[in-house]
Amino acid sequence: MIKKKTETDGPASLSECLVQIAKLGGYLARASDPPPGNTVMWRGLARLSDIQMGFNLNTAQ
């Protein structure tokens, strides 16, 4: 079962945030996977930027 982070767990750490961005770039985050590389992080940041632009366009109306 997947454990969701709750507010009582506190704010997300930097490593958790980086893994979330890497997942947007295609990182699978399996236990045996090495840390995400530069390419995956770049793809994740580009995807996050696209999501933010879409959100901003939606709320600007």
Give the SS3 label for residue 13. coil
Give the tens place of pLDDT for each residue, 5-21.
666 678 889 999 999 99
Give the tens place of pLDDT for each residue, 18-53.
999 999 999 999 999 999 999 999 999 999 999 999
pLDDT at 2: 57
Domains of the chain, residue spans: 37-61
pLDDT at 10: 84
How far is residue 8's CA from residue 3's CA, in Å, rounded to a whole number?
A: 13
Residue 21 and residue 48 in contact, taking contact as beta carbons nearer than 8 Å: yes
Give Cα 15 to chain centroid, integer Å: 10
- 0.85 surpassed by pTM: no
pLDDT at 60: 80
